A = this chain, B = another copy of it.
């Protein structure tokens, strides 16, 4: 494309993922239901199932990974995870 400036617009986005999991000491009835259902379907050897959330966030700009992690940790603290019963983990890129 004539006049297209490589890296000017499309590169100015980045993706990050927040993994939200129930804390290990919190019961997971949804996971237990899945475990039992897998047994009913004939899948053997399933010892345990835990279900969490996967929050994929697309951000404008391309800040440093450290800065993105700090922003995402704040988002997770304030909205994405319930710190009483959930832990979160952040992956950038």
CA distance A55 to B31 in the complex (A): 8
Copies of the chain in the assembly: 2
Q: Which residues of B lie under 8 Å from residue A37 when comparing CB positions?
A: 79
Count residues of A near B (Cβ-Cβ below 8 Å): 33
CB distance from A20 to the nearest CB of B (A): 8
Task: Identify whether the interface residues of A are mostly helix, strand, loop, or mixed.
Answer: strand
Q: Which residues of B lie under 8 Å from residue A27 when comparing CB positions?
A: none
Q: Does A85 contact B (CB under 8 A)?
A: no
Instruction: Say yes or no: A55 contacts B34, CB within 8 Å.
Output: yes
The residue in A43, A54, A60, A78 that gathers the most chain B C-beta atoms within 10 A of its C-beta is A54
In the complex, per-residue mask of A1-17: 1 if CB is within 8 Å of any chain B CB, else 0: 00000000000010000
